[in-house]
Amino acid sequence: MGVSLDGIVAGGPKGQRDPGAAGEDKGVTVWKVESLRQVGTHIMGCLPNGELRWSGRLMLVADLFVISGNQAAGKTTVAHLLAQRFSRGVHVEADDLQRMIVSGCRWPEMRDGIDVATGRVMGESGAQLTARLRNACLVSQSFVGEGFTTVLTDIIVGWRFEELVGNLAGVAFHFVMLRPSVEVLHRRERERASGSNDWEEYIEGGIEEMPHIGLWLDTKDWTASETVDEILRRQSEALVGAVSCNDVERRRSA
């Protein structure tokens, strides 16, 4: 029958109800599911309509995706399409949270200065980068807790990945790095008339120094829809367990 976990059975056909499972006579509706894992305090799995009745209470199944990449990598478009693939999907864009700062907003620029030892952006813009990622993680976890599969987008490179891990406080998530070539990035920047800049070069350097955690995709030959297809096909590769900042540092040093 498969391995039982708190009255939920893993290993059977996707979405197949198991009337003979232990707990059925105790008011627990048990499903055989294709996959099951414990993520923080949430039980995740592949269930019909994304719903699970457990101990007479409705629980909604949801995942958290984090999509990163350089400017013009396609993060926003891909995240929006990915969230739409789920019956209950949310896209949390970190840039939108920063735009909520209506007085005193400071976008990162090279003149803010970079700490050579850590690669961190210094000054007010660095503080706002930290605040927006922390708040994006809080909003994302709130939506996941309500049963919405959530896709968070931000430029997560270098030290910001450590901040991401700290903000998610041991919760597993799917991390995807969109990695088209620099030539493709420059072409896209020209097409949208924004042009390349020093900040883009800083981001590229941070990406190159990162450990390859999660799913990294060279998307130069794919449409946004094809990129979403690949993310879903290789979703298990993107899954990052409940890692700590020390884990990240060990992988960086390896």
Tens-place pLDDT, residues 153-211 = 999 988 889 999 999 987 889 999 999 877 777 776 677 666 555 677 778 888 888 88
Per-residue tens of pLDDT for the chain, all 254 residues: 232 333 333 333 334 444 444 443 433 333 333 333 333 333 333 344 444 444 344 445 689 999 999 988 999 999 999 999 999 999 999 999 999 999 988 887 755 677 767 777 888 888 899 999 999 999 999 999 999 999 999 999 888 899 999 999 878 899 999 998 777 777 766 776 665 556 777 788 888 888 899 999 999 889 999 999 999 999 999 999 765 445 555 555 55
pLDDT of res. 210: 86
pLDDT of res. 7: 33
- CA distances, 74 to each of 55, 105, 136, 210 (Å): 42, 24, 19, 19
Three-state secondary-structure class, residue 165: helix
Q: Where in the chain is the domain with CATH 3.40.50.300?
A: 64-253
86, 229 contact by CB (below 8 A): no
Containing H/E element for 237? helix 235-238
pLDDT of res. 106: 84
Taking residue 7's Cβ as centre, other Cβ atoms within 10 Å add up to 16
- C-alpha dihedral, 134 to 123 to 98 to 166, nearest 10°: -10
| pTM of the predicted protein model | 0.71
**Which residues are CB-neighbours of 59 under 8 A, at least 6 positions away?**
43, 51, 52, 53, 147
For 64-253, CATH gives 3.40.50.300
Cα–Cα distance for residue pair 179/220, rounded to 1 Å = 8
pLDDT of res. 52: 43
Cα–Cα distance for residue pair 125/114, rounded to 1 Å = 11
Three-state secondary-structure class, residue 32: strand
pLDDT of res. 253: 53
Beta bridge partners of 174: 65, 239
Nearest to 129 by CA among 83, 90, 161: 161
